[in-house]
Amino acid sequence: MIKLSRKEIDMHPIPMEELGDIVILRLDGPLDPAHANALQHYLAILLTAGWKKVIIDMNEVSAIISYGCGTLTHLIKEAKQNGMQMKFFGFQPEPKAVLERNNIDKILPCYATEGEAIASFSS
């Protein structure tokens, strides 16, 4: 995992919400290197703290660049290796198209809504 300085974390805060045994991270802006690195750092913190169910809200993500695609692929693999279930929801059309062009949509557990992502942990 990439370590971020306090300044970098402050520049790219990611709102988190706890819902029982689930943590929801609400991303905002493009998934560029700075935001992708921040996401990696937050997930490292969650893994260290023992969280096993994480949902990533992509509703406010305006774009995903190639670095972001690589980060998402890496995070899914790392989460699985560490017993964490990671789900995504709310992809906008442009970011979703980027994932589809790169066949990343095949490995990301994606849902249309937050409710569907939450319910998927029960199935």
Helix (H) or strand (E) holding 117: helix 114-120
How many other C-beta atoms are found inside a 10 Å radius of the C-beta of residue 10? 9
Q: Does domain 6-120 have CATH number 3.40.50.620?
A: no
HSE-up of residue 39 (Cα within 13 Å, Cβ side): 32
Mean pLDDT of 68-93: 94
The angle subtended at Cα 94 by Cα 65 and Cα 114, nearest 5°, is: 100
Instruction: Give the separation between CA 5 and CA 53, rounded to whole angstroms.
Output: 26
Instruction: Give the separation between CA 74 and CA 110, rounded to whole angstroms.
Output: 16
Amino acid in position 55: I
Q: Could you report the per-residue pLDDT of 18-30, keeping only the tens digit for each?
A: 899 999 999 999 9
Whether residue 1 contacts residue 41, with contact meaning beta carbons closer than 8 Å, is answered with: yes
Q: Over pLDDT 70: what percentage of the chain?
A: 89
Confidence of residue 12 (pLDDT cuts 50, 70, 90): low
Question: pTM to 2 decimals?
Answer: 0.87
Residue 1 has pLDDT above 60, yes or no: no
Residue in 17, 15, 49 with CA at minimum distance from that of residue 117: 17
The residue extents of the domains of the chain are: 6-120
Helix (H) or strand (E) holding 89: strand 85-89
